[in-house]
């Protein structure tokens, strides 16, 4: 699914108006009808009163139509026009006569006392906002936010005060419980700084012309089920284990063998034909017992998995389809030197996570040595160690994209909507997953899944998109059965099979 800029969204509206054809007033009617329908479905036939605050632009016009639609269905509605500009937009003005009970707010002191708890509909500003809300209009936003503990706030298209394509963290902005947005997700919704203010996002289809969506170019995408089903490859009936590759998982150290077990088990469960776990001697019995399907290659070191004390180990590395390295390996000097030797010996795409990234953060000269098209999976702190800090999440996204292009790597920055930057400049956001996955070992499982998919011959881009989707979906299925609170990393592995079945439906 494409994520469009505010300018592209305006162009989509204009294209639809011209080519459907439909008038702008009727397109507004269609959008507002979808919003009103969602509210009736969500809040029921006997909801508390609706308090609708409309701005002077087309977002306010949406609010006026919503007010009329709800009132026509017999709901208790009050609506106010907030005079944030001298004159309303043409479509806003066209809808005002159809709601004669419209009240007016021209200064903060006229903000109403909302005694009965109800549903506040925020229709002040939409995607057209390109600067911070200031003056008394900002005061209205603050007054709406003051009500959020007594009332449910629903924002139309965007929370008022938020900008679609630029940072607005420190600007006045409505804190919505729900945001009803039209046709496309906005980039701002997918970044951590706006999560609390956006609430739960509901995507409403309003009939934007499909030809525009098909032809418009954008660097940002939200992965969707259709994309994943296109990527997924069913197994060949005449295949054998060699068909799905031999993966090498370099993981674990004394006290951190759990990371190695999780990554190795996930690699197998994701579908790798064979997996060899390169581990320290202290973990041999653990691995053979916990993952009997895996082969073990032990270090001379009793404590560390990645010292490569015997040169033949590195000579064997190119024989593997893929190498996954990082979970639990530690970051001592000998391990750092071993990682450097591995990068010099293995030239296929690999998966690097956890301590492998921490080592590279300490020794940035290793970055250019990573094989092209490899996958890095940092969490935000690991990303900072690798590439430096930024002032906001928009800047961090730009830095992520730039580094993926410069280094010709795939970089997955973990988060609620993990951002996956590609070497060609495209960025995909993954929507699956839940807060229960904020648990020890979940990242090790992701490393194993990605390694297992690369082993089977998926391209790095396909492995990245499919792997992130499967990882999050397995977590969602586990949370549905077990709760977010009780979720542990092993549950993600256990539900991987259900995630695959979900894709096949």
pLDDT of 392-415, one tens digit each?
999 999 999 999 999 999 999 999
Q: What is the pLDDT of residues 143-165, one digit of tens each?
A: 999 999 999 999 999 999 999 99
Question: Nearest-CA neighbor of 374 among 336, 330, 418, 421?
Answer: 421
* Alpha carbon separation from 79 to 62, 123, 133 (Å, rounded): 12, 10, 21
Is residue 257's pLDDT more than 90? yes
By residue range, what is the domain housing residue 278?
A: 225-504
Half-sphere exposure (CA, 13 Å, Cβ side) for 470?
33
Binding residues for (6S)-NADPHX: 58-62, 126-132, 157, 259, 328, 379, 444
Q: Would residue 1 count as lying in a domain?
A: no
Clarify whether residues 165 and 250 are in a common domain.
no
Q: Report the C-alpha gap between 472 and 478 in whole angstroms.
A: 10
Q: Binding site for K(+): which residues?
A: 59, 122, 160
DSSP 417-432: T-EEE-TTS-EEE---
CATH number (domain holding residue 130): 3.40.50.10260
Q: Considering only residues 107 and 72, tell me which one the structure prediction assigns the higher pLDDT.
A: 72
Q: How many CB atoms sit inside 10 A of residue 24's CB?
A: 17
Same domain, yes or no: 340 and 213 = no
| 473 and 494 both lie in a single domain | yes
Domain boundary among 201, 218, 235: 218
Binding residue numbers: 58-62, 122, 126-132, 157, 160, 259, 328, 379, 414-418, 443-444
pLDDT tier, 316 (very low <50, low <70, confident <90, very high otherwise): confident
Domain count, the chain: 2
Q: What would the two tokens of residue 317 be?
A: 């590395």
SS (H, E, C) 140-166: HHHHHHHCCCCCEEEEECCCCCCCCCC
pLDDT at 302: 64
Residues 155 and 293 in one domain: no
Dihedral sign computed on CA atoms, order 265, 266, 269, 275: negative
Residue 201 banded pLDDT, cuts 50, 70, 90: very high
* Domain shared by 142 and 288, yes or no: no
- Annotated binding residues for AMP: 414-418, 443
């Amino acid at each position: 699914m494409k994520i469009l800029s505010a300018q592209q969204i305006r162009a989509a509206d204009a294209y639809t108006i011209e080519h459907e054809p439909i008038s702008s007033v009727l397109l507004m009617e269609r959008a507002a009808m979808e919003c009103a329908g969602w509210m009736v479905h969500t809040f029921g036939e006997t909801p508390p009163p609706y308090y609708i605050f409309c701005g002077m632009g087309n977002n306010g016009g949406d609010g006026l139509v919503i007010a009329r639609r709800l009132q026509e269905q017999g709901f208790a509605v009050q609506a106010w026009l907030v005079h944030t500009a001298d004159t309303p937009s043409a479509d806003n003005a066209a809808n005002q006569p159809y709601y004669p009970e419209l009240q007016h707010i021209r200064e903060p002191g006229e903000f109403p006392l909302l005694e009965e708890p109800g549903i506040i509909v925020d229709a002040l500003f939409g995607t057209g906002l390109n600067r911070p809300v200031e003056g008394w209009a900002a005061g209205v936003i603050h007054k709406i936010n003051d009500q959020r503990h007594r009332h449910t706030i629903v924002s139309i298209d965007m929370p008022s005060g938020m900008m679609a394509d630029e940072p607005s963290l420190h600007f006045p902005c409505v804190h919505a419980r729900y945001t009803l947005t039209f046709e496309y997700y906005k980039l701002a919704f997918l970044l951590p700084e706006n999560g609390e203010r956006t609430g739960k996002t509901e995507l409403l289809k309003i009939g934007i012309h499909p030809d525009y969506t098909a032809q418009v170019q954008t660097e940002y995408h939200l992965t969707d089920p259709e994309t994943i089903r296109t990527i997924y490859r069913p197994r060949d009936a005449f295949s054998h284990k060699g068909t799905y590759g031999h993966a090498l998982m370099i993981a674990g150290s004394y006290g951190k063998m759990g990371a190695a077990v999780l990554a190795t088990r996930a690699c197998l469960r994701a579908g790798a034909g064979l997996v060899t776990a390169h581990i320290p001697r202290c973990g041999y019995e653990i691995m053979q017992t916990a993952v009997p399907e895996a082969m073990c290659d032990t270090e001379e070191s009793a404590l560390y998995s990645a010292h490569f004390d015997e040169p033949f180990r590195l000579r064997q590395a190119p024989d593997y389809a893929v190498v996954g390295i990082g979970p639990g390996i530690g970051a001592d000097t000998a391990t750092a030197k071993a990682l450097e030797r591995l990068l010099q010996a293995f030239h296929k795409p690999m998966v690097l996570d956890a301590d492998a990234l921490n080592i590279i953060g300490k020794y940035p000269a290793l970055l250019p040595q990573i094989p092209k098209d490899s996958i890095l999976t940092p969490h935000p702190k690991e990303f900072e160690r690798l590439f430096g800090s930024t002032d906001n999440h928009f800047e961090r996204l730009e830095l992520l994209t730039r580094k993926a292009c410069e280094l010709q790597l795939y970089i997955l920055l973990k988060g609620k909507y993990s951002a996956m930057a590609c070497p060609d400049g495209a960025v995909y956001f993954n929507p699956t997953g839940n807060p229960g996955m904020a648990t020890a070992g979940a990242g090790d499982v992701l490393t194993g899944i990605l390694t297992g998919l690369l082993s089977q011959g998926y391209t790095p881009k396909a492995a990245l998109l499919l792997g992130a989707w499967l990882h999050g979906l397995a977590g969602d299925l586990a949370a549905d059965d077990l709760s977010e609170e009780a979720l542990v990393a092993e549950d993600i592995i256990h539900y991987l099979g259900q995630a695959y079945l979900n894709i096949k439906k």
